[in-house]
Amino acid sequence: MAVRKAAKVAALGGGTAVALYAFSELREQKQKQTRVQAAEQVKMTFQDVLPSRADQLSALRHTDEFDVLVVGGGATGSGCALDAVTRNLKTALVERDDFSSGTSSRSTKLIHGGVRYLQKAIMKLDYEQYMMVKEALHERSNLLEVAPHLSAPLPIMLPVYKWWQFPYYWLGIKMYDLVAGAQCLKTSYVLSKARALELFPMLKKDKLVGAIVYYDGQHNDARMNLAIALTAARYGAAIANYTEVVHLLKRAEPDSDCAGSWAAGADHR
Protein backbone atom coordinates (compact mmCIF):
# COMPACT_ATOMS: atom_id res chain seq x y z
CA MET A 1 0.00 0.00 0.00
CA ALA A 2 2.82 2.36 0.92
CA VAL A 3 4.62 1.61 -2.37
CA ARG A 4 1.46 2.34 -4.37
CA LYS A 5 0.97 5.62 -2.52
CA ALA A 6 4.52 6.77 -3.20
CA ALA A 7 4.27 5.78 -6.87
CA LYS A 8 0.92 7.51 -7.29
CA VAL A 9 2.20 10.72 -5.73
CA ALA A 10 5.32 10.60 -7.90
CA ALA A 11 3.34 10.15 -11.11
CA LEU A 12 0.76 12.81 -10.29
CA GLY A 13 3.24 15.26 -8.80
CA GLY A 14 5.76 15.03 -11.61
CA GLY A 15 3.30 15.73 -14.41
CA THR A 16 1.54 18.48 -12.50
CA ALA A 17 4.77 20.24 -11.56
CA VAL A 18 6.02 20.28 -15.14
CA ALA A 19 2.70 21.64 -16.41
CA LEU A 20 2.54 24.34 -13.73
CA TYR A 21 6.17 25.24 -14.29
CA ALA A 22 5.75 25.67 -18.05
CA PHE A 23 2.57 27.72 -17.67
CA SER A 24 4.07 30.01 -15.04
CA GLU A 25 7.20 30.77 -17.05
CA LEU A 26 5.23 32.71 -19.66
CA ARG A 27 3.37 34.65 -16.98
CA GLU A 28 6.62 35.43 -15.15
CA GLN A 29 8.23 36.78 -18.33
CA LYS A 30 5.32 39.17 -18.84
CA GLN A 31 5.44 40.29 -15.20
CA LYS A 32 9.20 40.84 -15.41
CA GLN A 33 8.77 43.04 -18.47
CA THR A 34 6.12 45.06 -16.64
CA ARG A 35 8.38 45.50 -13.59
CA VAL A 36 11.26 46.70 -15.76
CA GLN A 37 9.05 49.24 -17.52
CA ALA A 38 7.73 50.51 -14.17
CA ALA A 39 11.24 50.80 -12.73
CA GLU A 40 12.40 52.83 -15.72
CA GLN A 41 9.62 55.35 -15.10
CA VAL A 42 10.67 56.00 -11.49
CA LYS A 43 13.36 58.65 -11.21
CA MET A 44 14.34 59.23 -7.60
CA THR A 45 17.30 60.92 -5.95
CA PHE A 46 19.22 58.62 -3.61
CA GLN A 47 21.19 60.54 -0.98
CA ASP A 48 24.72 59.27 -0.45
CA VAL A 49 24.81 60.72 3.07
CA LEU A 50 22.13 59.58 5.48
CA PRO A 51 20.24 62.55 6.98
CA SER A 52 20.90 63.02 10.69
CA ARG A 53 18.22 62.53 13.34
CA ALA A 54 18.09 66.30 13.81
CA ASP A 55 17.42 66.71 10.09
CA GLN A 56 14.68 64.08 10.23
CA LEU A 57 12.93 65.70 13.20
CA SER A 58 13.23 69.10 11.54
CA ALA A 59 11.58 67.74 8.41
CA LEU A 60 8.75 66.30 10.49
CA ARG A 61 8.22 69.62 12.28
CA HIS A 62 8.49 72.00 9.36
CA THR A 63 6.94 70.12 6.45
CA ASP A 64 3.45 71.54 6.00
CA GLU A 65 1.91 68.37 4.66
CA PHE A 66 2.80 64.77 3.89
CA ASP A 67 1.06 62.58 1.36
CA VAL A 68 1.59 59.51 3.52
CA LEU A 69 2.17 59.08 7.24
CA VAL A 70 3.18 55.59 8.32
CA VAL A 71 2.71 54.87 12.02
CA GLY A 72 4.96 52.01 13.11
CA GLY A 73 8.52 51.26 12.06
CA GLY A 74 8.42 47.49 11.83
CA ALA A 75 9.09 45.55 8.65
CA THR A 76 5.65 46.28 7.20
CA GLY A 77 5.68 49.97 8.10
CA SER A 78 9.22 50.50 6.81
CA GLY A 79 8.37 48.65 3.62
CA CYS A 80 5.27 50.80 3.11
CA ALA A 81 7.34 53.95 3.62
CA LEU A 82 9.95 52.84 1.10
CA ASP A 83 7.27 51.90 -1.42
CA ALA A 84 5.49 55.23 -0.97
CA VAL A 85 8.55 57.45 -1.23
CA THR A 86 9.77 55.67 -4.37
CA ARG A 87 6.38 56.47 -5.91
CA ASN A 88 7.15 60.18 -5.47
CA LEU A 89 4.85 60.54 -2.47
CA LYS A 90 5.97 62.84 0.34
CA THR A 91 6.35 60.30 3.12
CA ALA A 92 6.84 60.31 6.89
CA LEU A 93 7.44 57.33 9.18
CA VAL A 94 7.30 57.44 12.98
CA GLU A 95 7.90 54.69 15.55
CA ARG A 96 7.27 55.10 19.28
CA ASP A 97 10.08 52.71 20.25
CA ASP A 98 13.04 51.60 18.16
CA PHE A 99 12.83 50.26 14.63
CA SER A 100 12.15 46.52 14.65
CA SER A 101 11.66 46.48 18.41
CA GLY A 102 8.59 44.25 18.19
CA THR A 103 7.54 41.29 16.07
CA SER A 104 9.90 42.17 13.23
CA SER A 105 12.91 41.16 15.34
CA ARG A 106 11.31 37.92 16.58
CA SER A 107 10.61 36.02 13.38
CA THR A 108 11.97 32.60 12.40
CA LYS A 109 14.65 34.47 10.38
CA LEU A 110 13.79 32.23 7.41
CA ILE A 111 13.40 33.38 3.81
CA HIS A 112 11.49 30.47 2.33
CA GLY A 113 9.24 29.71 -0.60
CA GLY A 114 7.05 27.27 1.29
CA VAL A 115 7.53 23.56 0.64
CA ARG A 116 4.17 22.77 2.27
CA TYR A 117 2.37 25.22 -0.01
CA LEU A 118 3.94 23.56 -3.02
CA GLN A 119 2.66 20.21 -1.77
CA LYS A 120 -0.87 21.64 -1.54
CA ALA A 121 -0.55 23.19 -5.00
CA ILE A 122 0.37 19.86 -6.56
CA MET A 123 -2.01 17.60 -4.66
CA LYS A 124 -4.99 19.95 -5.13
CA LEU A 125 -3.97 21.33 -8.54
CA ASP A 126 -4.10 24.80 -6.99
CA TYR A 127 -2.45 27.26 -9.36
CA GLU A 128 -2.70 30.19 -6.92
CA GLN A 129 -0.80 28.25 -4.27
CA TYR A 130 1.83 27.42 -6.86
CA MET A 131 2.22 31.05 -7.88
CA MET A 132 2.54 32.07 -4.23
CA VAL A 133 5.48 29.66 -3.88
CA LYS A 134 6.95 30.94 -7.15
CA GLU A 135 6.72 34.55 -5.99
CA ALA A 136 8.16 33.73 -2.56
CA LEU A 137 11.14 31.98 -4.16
CA HIS A 138 11.66 35.02 -6.39
CA GLU A 139 11.65 37.32 -3.36
CA ARG A 140 14.03 34.97 -1.56
CA SER A 141 16.44 35.38 -4.45
CA ASN A 142 16.00 39.16 -4.36
CA LEU A 143 16.83 39.39 -0.66
CA LEU A 144 19.91 37.23 -1.00
CA GLU A 145 21.08 39.35 -3.93
CA VAL A 146 20.45 42.85 -2.56
CA ALA A 147 21.52 42.12 1.03
CA PRO A 148 24.25 39.45 1.01
CA HIS A 149 25.65 40.96 4.23
CA LEU A 150 22.37 40.21 6.03
CA SER A 151 21.30 36.91 4.44
CA ALA A 152 22.71 33.56 3.40
CA PRO A 153 21.60 30.12 2.16
CA LEU A 154 20.54 27.77 4.97
CA PRO A 155 20.67 23.96 4.69
CA ILE A 156 17.61 22.23 6.16
CA MET A 157 17.60 18.51 6.88
CA LEU A 158 14.50 16.28 6.78
CA PRO A 159 15.03 13.01 8.67
CA VAL A 160 13.25 10.03 7.09
CA TYR A 161 11.97 7.18 9.28
CA LYS A 162 10.02 5.12 6.74
CA TRP A 163 11.68 3.82 3.60
CA TRP A 164 8.68 4.58 1.36
CA GLN A 165 8.86 8.25 2.41
CA PHE A 166 12.20 8.62 0.66
CA PRO A 167 10.76 8.86 -2.91
CA TYR A 168 7.86 10.98 -1.62
CA TYR A 169 10.07 13.55 0.10
CA TRP A 170 12.76 13.38 -2.55
CA LEU A 171 10.29 14.12 -5.34
CA GLY A 172 8.74 17.00 -3.41
CA ILE A 173 12.09 18.62 -2.67
CA LYS A 174 13.26 18.15 -6.26
CA MET A 175 10.08 19.90 -7.42
CA TYR A 176 10.97 22.73 -5.04
CA ASP A 177 14.36 22.98 -6.77
CA LEU A 178 12.65 22.86 -10.16
CA VAL A 179 10.19 25.63 -9.35
CA ALA A 180 13.06 27.82 -8.12
CA GLY A 181 14.77 27.28 -11.48
CA ALA A 182 17.83 29.47 -11.93
CA GLN A 183 17.13 30.92 -8.47
CA CYS A 184 17.74 27.56 -6.77
CA LEU A 185 20.29 28.22 -4.02
CA LYS A 186 21.91 24.78 -3.96
CA THR A 187 20.78 21.40 -5.21
CA SER A 188 19.11 19.16 -2.63
CA TYR A 189 20.73 15.83 -1.82
CA VAL A 190 20.30 12.61 0.16
CA LEU A 191 22.18 11.60 3.31
CA SER A 192 22.68 8.05 4.51
CA LYS A 193 21.68 7.09 8.04
CA ALA A 194 25.32 7.06 9.17
CA ARG A 195 26.05 10.47 7.66
CA ALA A 196 22.87 11.99 9.09
CA LEU A 197 23.77 10.75 12.59
CA GLU A 198 27.33 12.01 12.17
CA LEU A 199 26.07 15.52 11.39
CA PHE A 200 23.18 15.43 13.89
CA PRO A 201 24.03 12.94 16.67
CA MET A 202 20.93 13.99 18.68
CA LEU A 203 18.61 12.49 16.05
CA LYS A 204 16.40 9.61 17.12
CA LYS A 205 18.25 6.55 15.82
CA ASP A 206 15.45 3.99 15.97
CA LYS A 207 14.07 3.25 12.49
CA LEU A 208 16.01 6.14 10.94
CA VAL A 209 16.46 5.43 7.23
CA GLY A 210 18.39 8.52 6.19
CA ALA A 211 17.76 12.18 5.47
CA ILE A 212 17.22 14.71 2.68
CA VAL A 213 18.85 18.14 2.73
CA TYR A 214 17.49 21.15 0.84
CA TYR A 215 18.26 24.86 0.97
CA ASP A 216 16.27 27.94 1.86
CA GLY A 217 17.40 31.37 3.01
CA GLN A 218 18.03 32.95 6.39
CA HIS A 219 18.44 36.61 7.26
CA ASN A 220 18.92 39.04 10.13
CA ASP A 221 15.35 40.31 10.40
CA ALA A 222 16.05 43.29 12.68
CA ARG A 223 18.96 44.55 10.58
CA MET A 224 16.95 44.06 7.40
CA ASN A 225 14.12 46.11 8.89
CA LEU A 226 16.52 48.92 9.75
CA ALA A 227 18.10 48.80 6.30
CA ILE A 228 14.69 49.24 4.66
CA ALA A 229 13.85 52.22 6.90
CA LEU A 230 17.20 53.88 6.21
CA THR A 231 16.80 53.29 2.49
CA ALA A 232 13.46 55.09 2.65
CA ALA A 233 15.21 57.98 4.40
CA ARG A 234 17.86 58.16 1.70
CA TYR A 235 15.13 58.43 -0.90
CA GLY A 236 13.68 61.40 0.96
CA ALA A 237 11.26 60.02 3.57
CA ALA A 238 11.27 61.71 6.98
CA ILE A 239 11.68 58.94 9.55
CA ALA A 240 12.09 59.02 13.32
CA ASN A 241 12.15 56.40 16.04
CA TYR A 242 11.13 57.12 19.64
CA THR A 243 8.45 59.41 18.21
CA GLU A 244 4.96 58.54 19.35
CA VAL A 245 1.70 59.60 17.70
CA VAL A 246 -0.37 60.91 20.61
CA HIS A 247 -3.50 62.02 18.77
CA LEU A 248 -5.13 62.22 15.35
CA LEU A 249 -7.24 65.16 14.26
CA LYS A 250 -9.50 65.04 11.22
CA ARG A 251 -10.37 68.36 9.64
CA ALA A 252 -12.77 69.06 6.81
CA GLU A 253 -11.69 70.77 3.61
CA PRO A 254 -14.37 73.44 2.94
CA ASP A 255 -13.55 74.01 -0.73
CA SER A 256 -12.94 70.41 -1.68
CA ASP A 257 -14.97 67.37 -2.62
CA CYS A 258 -12.68 65.29 -0.40
CA ALA A 259 -13.92 64.13 2.98
CA GLY A 260 -11.05 65.90 4.69
CA SER A 261 -7.49 65.39 5.85
CA TRP A 262 -5.80 64.04 8.95
CA ALA A 263 -3.34 65.78 11.23
CA ALA A 264 -1.17 63.86 13.68
CA GLY A 265 0.31 65.10 16.91
CA ALA A 266 3.60 63.45 17.88
CA ASP A 267 5.95 63.47 20.83
CA HIS A 268 9.59 62.44 20.47
CA ARG A 269 12.24 61.42 22.97
pLDDT in tens, 156-199: 999 999 999 999 999 999 999 999 998 999 999 999 999 999 99
Please list the alpha-helical segments (H only) found in the chain. Answer: 2-41, 53-62, 75-85, 115-123, 127-146, 165-180, 193-199, 221-234
Q: If you average pLDDT over residues 22-34, what whole number do you get?
A: 57
Choice between 3 and 105, residue whose per-residue pLDDT is larger: 105
pLDDT at 41: 58
Tell me the average pLDDT of the chain: 84
- Is 53-105+222-268 assigned to CATH 3.40.640.10? no
Residue range(s) of every CATH 3.50.50.60 domain in the chain = 53-105+222-268
Does residue 252 surpass a pLDDT of 70? Answer: no
pLDDT at 4: 46
pTM of this structure: 0.74
Does residue 15 surpass a pLDDT of 80? Answer: no
Distance CA 12, CA 147 (A): 38
3-state secondary structure of 104: helix
Cα 64 to chain centroid, rounded: 34
pLDDT at 2: 43
pLDDT tens per residue, range 63-99 = 988 999 999 999 999 999 999 999 999 999 999 999 9
Distances (CA, A) of 208 to 85, 205, 211, 215: 53, 5, 8, 21
